[in-house]
Amino acid sequence: MYYLMLFVVLPIRLSRYQFNFIAHYALLGPYDFLDIYEATEEEAAARVSLIVLHSGAFQAESWVAIPCKRFVELAESIWDNR
């Protein structure tokens, strides 16, 4: 039943929100699964976490990530504006 929820029901419930699902991994360690997705805004990411929690997950976290190239550009802009 869990797999039905994970791979069929959950994607359908999430499909109406603005995000791009990239990958789903099973983990060995303190966390069971890792979902990677791009969201258009923080509220869309929060919705994904809330839906995952409502679907039976014990814990969900949303982390903001910046592409490395953009991070370097931000760092360089700080040095350029000293």
Q: pLDDT tens digits, the chain, 82 residues: what are they? A: 555 555 555 666 666 667 788 888 888 998 888 888 888 888 888 888 888 787 777 788 888 888 999 999 999 998 876 6
d(CA 15, CA 34): 18
Q: Is residue 22 within 8 Å of residue 36, measured between CB atoms? A: yes
pLDDT digits (tens, 9 = 90+) for 57-73: 778 888 888 899 999 99
**Rounded Cα distance, 12 and 80, in Å:** 46
Domain spans, the chain: 2-80
> Is the entire prediction scored with pTM above 0.75?
no
